[in-house]
Amino acid sequence: MQTHASNRTIAEKDVDSVLHPYTNLKRHPEVGPLVITRGQGVRVYDEAGRDYIEGLAGLWCTSLGWGEERLVEAAARQMRQLPFYHLFSHKTHDVGVELCARLLAMAPVPMSKVFLAGSGSEANDTAIKLIHYRANALGTPDKKKIIAREKAYHGVTVATASLTGLVNNQRSFDLPIPGVLRAACPHHYRFAKDGESEEDFSTRLAGELEAMILAEGPDTVAAFFAEPVMGAGGVIVPPAGYFPKIQAVLDRYDVLLVVDEVICGFGRTGKMFGTETFGIRPDMMTLAKGLSSGYAPISALMVNERVYGPVAEESGRIGVFGHGYTYGGHPVSAAVALETLNIYAERDILAQVAEVGPVLQDGLRALRGHPLVGEARGVGLIGAVELVADKANRAPFPPELAVGARVVAKAQAKGVILRAMGDAVAFAPPLVISKADIAEMLRRFGLALDEAH
Ligand code: PLP
């Protein structure tokens, strides 16, 4: 007999109806979903009322934590005033304008214009399209190749997944598309040679980048994409000297630098932007996640005059800049983003990260003593521990053991939600987390590690 729909649990309906992102779809019915029903502060609660510390701020985004009434009010006010309008065809609206102006004023390097979109992928996809458009505008149609790094994460559209350097974003999707070059991942612990200092490692990677550009032909290479701290690749903090050395190579061959600040932007690394933490000079910057504290979907692409000038010229020649998303700069999202930025300023979010960040970093580094932990790394309020089979020679566990995923599952049972990237377990809690909650998050994680050992 068929159960009446209303008697079915959320978990049962989920299994029947949802195609889940980033999930083993075949195993999902057997594993079953964790149903989250509400959140408050840095905690979310499941159907049974159990609390979990959200160690990854949802998906690295909920910087102000859950239950921030001012964002609810900002959304409700905007819904009443103007729930939808757009920026196409010379139209505009006040919150969209205010947000772009505010972002330009916050930009760590001079930027000319801001394009609003709905997600990190859309912002990066737009950056790729601008690179192509600009190359055509400049009469250099062969200069369009884009360099991205192993373990990069720039999104999941056809083009951005092609820049993403993680195997599961490309395998069986028939990606990457042509025109993408792959540079080395700057993870010192994993990829430095024996005895190679961070500076020497950075020098070597910059040399390899230069060799690649020369081999391809500088007239064919348009841009280099980079996250300041690589997030989904396993929280990889650049080694000393890395970005200045890379930037010098890019400058030499007239290669644009696109900095993906989707995770790092808005305080995550201790400064407002990762660009500032690591001394980078981007031509384009993409922002999302913390821009609205995850309360509404929104992203932004900032471009400097080097990019905007030729693009504007080309649109004049063609008659239109033929790109834009229905929900780009959605007024409700823009209003939520503006209020988020107000809160960051009023509560001095950078002072808060400076205050509690060291508790996370010291706590992670203290885990180095654990038999499973090969490396602990991070900056500000982002970090990771890398689990290894043999600490002495840094040997990883065989991937089929899925040790990272197993530890994260145990941590969830102990009341902390984290994410495994291979055998790196990432931490990026809401920026508003207290020292006591960081300690509690690490205590729960430590119990899971002990159990896994
Ligand atoms: N860039 C980075 C660095 C990210 O971490 C992400 C998502 O995690 C993206 C881009 C893609 O953003 P979205 O999932 O909003 O498309």
279 sits in the region (left: phi over 0; alpha: psi -120 to 50; else beta) called left
Query: Which of 235, 269, 289 to mutate to test ligand 1, by most ligand atoms within 8 A of the CB atom?
Result: 289
Report the interhelical angle of 331-346 vs 69-81 (nearest 10°).
Answer: 150
User: Of ligand 1's atoms, which has the minimum distance to the CA of residue 299?
Assistant: 15
Residue 4: band (very low, low, confident or very high) from pLDDT cuts 50, 70, 90: low
Query: Which of 22, 121, 327 to mutate to test ligand 1, by most ligand atoms within 8 A of the CB atom?
Result: 121
Report the alpha-carbon distance of residue 231 to residue 263 in Å, rounded. 7
Tell me whether residue 83 is exposed, middle or buried, using C-beta atoms within 10 angstroms of its C-beta: 0 to 12, 13 to 18, 19 or more.
exposed
Tell how far the Cα of 63 is from the centroid of ligand 1, in angstroms.
15
pTM of the model as a whole: 0.97
Mean pLDDT of 322-329: 98
Query: Average pLDDT, whole number, for the chain?
Result: 97
Instruction: Reply yes or no on whether the pLDDT at 318 is more than 50.
Output: yes
pLDDT per residue as tens digits for the range 135-166:
999 999 999 999 999 999 999 999 999 999 99
Tell how far the Cα of 356 is from the centroid of ligand 1, in angstroms.
25
Report the alpha-carbon distance of residue 453 to residue 435 in Å, rounded. 27
Tell how far the Cα of 154 is from the centroid of ligand 1, in angstroms.
6
User: Of ligand 1's atoms, which has the minimum distance to the CA of residue 155?
Assistant: 11
Tell how far the Cα of 195 is from the centroid of ligand 1, in angstroms.
34
pLDDT per residue as tens digits for the range 258-301:
999 999 999 999 999 999 999 999 999 999 999 999 999 999 99
Tell how far the Cα of 350 is from the centroid of ligand 1, in angstroms.
22
Give residues (CB < 6 A) around ligand 1: 59, 119-121, 124, 153-155, 227, 231-232, 260, 262-263, 288
Tell how far the Cα of 108 is from the centroid of ligand 1, in angstroms.
21
User: Of ligand 1's atoms, which has the minimum distance to the CA of residue 156?
Assistant: 16
User: Of ligand 1's atoms, which has the minimum distance to the CA of residue 230?
Assistant: 3
Mean pLDDT of 18-34: 96
Instruction: Reply yes or no on whether the pLDDT at 1 is more than 50.
Output: no
Instruction: Reply yes or no on whether the pLDDT at 355 is more than 80.
Output: yes
User: Of ligand 1's atoms, which has the minimum distance to the CA of residue 157?
Assistant: 16
Instruction: Reply yes or no on whether the pLDDT at 5 is more than 90.
Output: no
Predicted ipTM of the assembly: 0.99
Whole-number pLDDT of residue 453 = 85
pLDDT per residue as tens digits for the range 201-240:
999 999 999 999 999 999 999 999 999 999 999 999 999 9
Tell how far the Cα of 425 is from the centroid of ligand 1, in angstroms.
18
Instruction: Reply yes or no on whether the pLDDT at 442 is more than 70.
Output: yes
Nearest CA to ligand 1 atom 10: 154
Domains of the chain: 34-67+348-452 (3.90.1150.10), 72-346 (3.40.640.10)
